[in-house]
A and B are shown apart, each in its own frame.
Chain A
Amino acid sequence: MTAAALASYLLTGLAGASSLFLVAAGLSLIFGVTRIVNFAHGSFFMLGLYLAATLVEAFGRTPLGFWGGVLLASAAVGVFGTIVEILILRRLYGAPELLQLLATFAVVLIVKDAALWLWGPEDVLGPRAPGLRGAVVIFGRAVPEYDLLLIALGPAVLGALWLLLARTRFGRLVRAATEDREMASALGVDQARLFTLVFALGSALAGLGGALQLPREPASLGLDLAIVADAFVVVVVGGLGSLPGAFLAALLIAELKALCIGLGVSKLTLVIEFLVMAIVLAIRPHGLLGRPEAAPRASAVDADGAGSTPPLAWILLGAACLLPLVLGGYPLVLAIDVLILALFAASLRWLVGPAGLVSFGHAAFFGLGAYAAGIATVKLGWPMAASLALAPVAAGIGAIAFSLVAVRLSGVYLAMLSLAFAQIVWSLAFQWDALTGGSNGLVGVWPSADVSGKPAYYLLTLAVVALAWLALRRFERGRLGHAIRAVRDSPLRAEAVGLDVSGLRRAALLVSGALAGLAGGLFAFSKGSLSPETLSIPRSVDGLVMVLLGGLASPFGPILGAGLFTWLQDEAARRVDFWRALVGLVILALVFFVPRGLAGFFGTHRR
């Protein structure tokens, strides 16, 4: 590559950095003040882009129409963010992180279906910016004028935000709240108003970031999660709550991505992001310019693995064995789904509850298991038993790889990292055509002849899931399980009595990942085919919803949760067009009204 070509790639990278920064800045501001990780931030971006497309179309493609449309879209998203804050988040500031994250994810689902309803499933193309349609020749290459504008805009917004924070009363309050919440509240800051204002500003920035992309990319429904994953990486690398950090990180990541594309290794772009994050966090666990979090917040809802396996469990198991006698066809297929999801949810409940490690990317392990089994069967011709055995091994290896970075983190950092990890595994499945079949997926993952009938496969699944569930329960109540829970309860105390905190967290992730992988392996053979959907973010969230439905406190929760969820989804998908939004509403209802899960209703043993 010539120096000129390099320079032009770097310029493109700069433009990318600006838009990345706009989104990340809002996320970082909101987190700094409210301590809420806003999953819906990518949705705000997406909304900004769609709205800008519509508004510019309505106003006409004049400079005034364009810029008016962009600004109005940004403002509208700010208003929308305000409404979300007042209606939903305001009630959750003291709640466990898991509930906050789920609530913002509910917003993602609702916004996605709203966008589908308003703009349809097709991508919406925007006009180019009037007056900036040309290109400037720099180093002998044409660089779009609009890119140059964006390049200038990033630092300009950083400067404006800096002025706002440094020079105004609002800014002083924001800084006070970011640095020391207790002090800010002691100073008599009207917190509710401050939080709302910050949320409005943050969402408007995300909306602006989206609107400004109008000439560069079409509005599409997949943007929300793609963007929020990117923004998470930027914010984590830069340091939560630090705007200059976010700017630096956006620059670093966008330039590295541009370089990868320039060098013709565009597939590396996805992994490079994770690598950067891994390296930065390994050296600086709080990001480039971030500072250590004061005290880690109380972990999620109480979890308790006590009590012996009640007779009810054995009765249920007996009944489940007899199920194929009365059920057939589609209901039996659903029953297999429930079993597999119950194992998936049980592995996640173990991680989020007793181990205290909030994961938003658990589908990555499920998918690693599923794809490992699928690839071994289809590409390598392994027998089913061997492929199925490979599933937990592959997922376990993935979990160990993830844990190398993850064990040093906790709370929201971990949640964001897990999301980014899952996004990357998803991209690999999506793009590595030769191995995974890319977007078409893998077909022909059939079970061996003796379990190819549905009743037989059901019984196999039941046996594997029941054994895995019992093993997990034993593990949870054993010495190691207690030590892991001790680390969750108080890492300080655990270390002070000589426990290996990192090692125990790694073990917790390994167990959880391997079991999720086993569930994935069973899934692959039950469906006969795999697509990247298998390990997409929504599946991770499905898992969390099941866990939440069932409640963290009881090991039976996931079974109950998986059953209810499968039934609800099946009913909803058949009857309602916008079932995703419905799931979003169900999540919100759960978060607000039954935060401890439905198993709580059935008198879980609290000693």
Chain B
Amino acid sequence: MTLLSAAGLTKAYGGVRAVDGVDLAVDAGQMVAMIGPNGAGKSTCFGMIGGQIRPDAGRVQLDGVDITAYLPKARARLGLGRTFQVAQVFTSMSVGENLAVATRGAALPLLLDRVGLAGAADRPAAALAYADIKRLELALALATGPRLLLMDEPTAGMAPAERRSLMTLIAGLARDDGLAVLFTEHDIDVVFGHANRILVLDRGKLIAAGAPAAIRADARVRAVYLGHGDGSC
């Protein structure tokens, strides 16, 4: 079942088309990765889906509802959760207070346990290491009980082992709860290890979309992206 679909998403800054006519769809239970070099337009795409950026053209649908004109808070109520490239948490509060703001009394310990912050409820957010801040942010995104989760570089700043465990957690949520996940990631191992589908963006345009094996074999993708050498841009 298609949960998220976007058609013709376009955003220009000055003369530069940051995102240019992007179509995409994510099904419930599916993990979709969006990859592309720096400045390809990934975060801008996420902003338009999440409601932080108003598109110049194009439509966004969540579970059949046209949400193009909705504010982020309305999208959140419809079941859209997201994390940001630069993690956004409530820095003046403790971990527990952070989640209390986001949830309406949902089970806190469970949530913390899920993201690997068990027992940290009383720690001030400002004192967390960056990887833990990312975890807290994920917990905040999950606290509203989303059906669609957008994650902009969820594992940036984490050690390889941490990356794997975080992505395994997310994959579990997708599999067990039918969460639809769209994420960007520069770590190619993470991408090919966890994504069911991959979208490749270059200079605002979608240049390829398909299963990991097909993307790996795609000549254009290799040229603009994977061909860069170490594959981690």
- Chain B residues with Cβ below 8 Å from A474 are none
B128 to chain A minimum Cβ distance, whole angstroms, is: 13
Which single member of B93, B101, B137 contacts A499 (CB below 8 Å)?
Answer: B101
In which size bucket is the chain A interface? 20 to 34
CA distance A500 to B88 in the complex (A): 17
CA distance A501 to B101 in the complex (A): 13
Which single member of A482, A483, A496, A607 contacts B88 (CB below 8 Å)?
Answer: A496
B40-95 at interface with A (beta carbon < 8 Å):
50-52, 71-73, 76-77, 81-82, 84, 88-94
Residue contact B89 to A490, C-beta cutoff 8 Å: yes
B120-155 at interface with A (beta carbon < 8 Å):
122, 124, 126, 137, 140-141, 143-144
Residue contact B73 to A499, C-beta cutoff 8 Å: yes
Q: A496-B82, A497-B102 are in contact. Are A482 and B143 (CB under 8 A)?
A: no
Say whether A341 faces chain B, with CB atoms less than 8 Å apart: no
Which single member of B81, B88, B124, B144 contacts A492 (CB below 8 Å)?
Answer: B88
Which single member of A303, A485, A495, A500 contacts B90 (CB below 8 Å)?
Answer: A485
Which single member of B51, B81, B93, B124 contacts A486 (CB below 8 Å)?
Answer: B93
Residue contact A496 to B91, C-beta cutoff 8 Å: no
CA distance A497 to B143 in the complex (A): 8
Residue contact A492 to B52, C-beta cutoff 8 Å: yes
Say whether B97 faces chain A, with CB atoms less than 8 Å apart: yes
Say whether A57 faces chain B, with CB atoms less than 8 Å apart: no
Say whether A91 faces chain B, with CB atoms less than 8 Å apart: no
Residue contact A496 to B92, C-beta cutoff 8 Å: no
Say whether B100 faces chain A, with CB atoms less than 8 Å apart: yes
Which single member of A303, A485, A488, A495 contacts B73 (CB below 8 Å)?
Answer: A495
Which single member of B73, B82, B93, B102 contacts A501 (CB below 8 Å)?
Answer: B73
Residue contact A490 to B88, C-beta cutoff 8 Å: yes
Say whether A304 faces chain B, with CB atoms less than 8 Å apart: yes
B85 to chain A minimum Cβ distance, whole angstroms, is: 11
Say whether A381 faces chain B, with CB atoms less than 8 Å apart: no
Residue contact B140 to A485, C-beta cutoff 8 Å: no
CA distance A218 to B214 in the complex (A): 79
CA distance A489 to B140 in the complex (A): 14
In which size bucket is the chain B interface? 20 to 34
- Chain B residues with Cβ below 8 Å from A217 are none
Q: A492-B52, A497-B144, A498-B77 are in contact. Are A485 and B92 (CB under 8 A)?
A: yes
| Among A490, A496, A607: residue with most chain B CB under 10 A | A496
CA distance A415 to B100 in the complex (A): 30
CA distance A392 to B107 in the complex (A): 39
Which single member of A483, A489, A490, A496 contacts B81 (CB below 8 Å)?
Answer: A496
B14 to chain A minimum Cβ distance, whole angstroms, is: 10
Residue contact A498 to B91, C-beta cutoff 8 Å: no
Say whether A172 faces chain B, with CB atoms less than 8 Å apart: no
- Which residue of chain B lies nearest to A493 when distances are taken between CB atoms in the complex? B88
A363-421 at interface with B (beta carbon < 8 Å):
none
- Chain B residues with Cβ below 8 Å from A495 are 51-52, 71-73, 76
CA distance A486 to B51 in the complex (A): 19
Residue contact B90 to A490, C-beta cutoff 8 Å: yes
- Which residue of chain A lies nearest to B97 when distances are taken between CB atoms in the complex? A482
- Chain A residues with Cβ below 8 Å from B100 are 482
- Chain B residues with Cβ below 8 Å from A500 are 73
- Chain A residues with Cβ below 8 Å from B81 are 496-497
Say whether A145 faces chain B, with CB atoms less than 8 Å apart: no
A492 to chain B minimum Cβ distance, whole angstroms, is: 5
Residue contact A496 to B50, C-beta cutoff 8 Å: yes
Residue contact B94 to A607, C-beta cutoff 8 Å: yes
A570 to chain B minimum Cβ distance, whole angstroms, is: 35
- Chain A residues with Cβ below 8 Å from B98 are 486
B83 to chain A minimum Cβ distance, whole angstroms, is: 9
CA distance A607 to B126 in the complex (A): 10
CA distance A304 to B100 in the complex (A): 16
- Which residue of chain A lies nearest to B72 when distances are taken between CB atoms in the complex? A495
Residue contact A493 to B89, C-beta cutoff 8 Å: yes
CA distance A494 to B203 in the complex (A): 30
Q: A486-B101, A498-B144 are in contact. Are A493 and B94 (CB under 8 A)?
A: no
B171 to chain A minimum Cβ distance, whole angstroms, is: 22
- Chain A residues with Cβ below 8 Å from B76 are 495-498
- Chain B residues with Cβ below 8 Å from A607 are 94, 122, 124
- Which residue of chain A lies nearest to B87 when distances are taken between CB atoms in the complex? A493
CA distance A496 to B102 in the complex (A): 9
- Chain B residues with Cβ below 8 Å from A485 are 90, 92-93
- Chain B residues with Cβ below 8 Å from A494 are 90, 101
Q: A499-B73, A501-B73 are in contact. Are A486 and B90 (CB under 8 A)?
A: yes
- Chain A residues with Cβ below 8 Å from B71 are 495
**Could you write out 28 A-B pairs with CB less than 8 Å apart?**
A303-B92, A482-B93, A482-B97, A482-B100, A485-B90, A485-B92, A485-B93, A486-B93, A489-B90, A489-B91, A490-B90, A492-B88, A493-B88, A493-B140, A494-B90, A494-B101, A495-B76, A496-B52, A496-B88, A497-B76, A497-B102, A497-B140, A497-B144, A498-B77, A499-B101, A607-B94, A607-B122, A607-B124
Binding site for A on B (CB under 8 A): 50-52, 71-73, 76-77, 81-82, 84, 88-94, 97-98, 100-102, 122, 124, 126, 137, 140-141, 143-144
| 14 extra A-B contacts, CB within 8 A, seeds A492-B84, A497-B76 | A485-B93, A486-B90, A489-B89, A490-B88, A492-B88, A493-B89, A493-B137, A494-B90, A494-B101, A495-B76, A496-B88, A497-B141, A498-B73, A498-B102
Binding site for B on A (CB under 8 A): 302-304, 482-483, 485-486, 488-490, 492-501, 607
Leading 6 A-B pairs by shortest Cβ distance? A498-B76, A493-B88, A497-B102, A495-B72, A489-B90, A490-B88
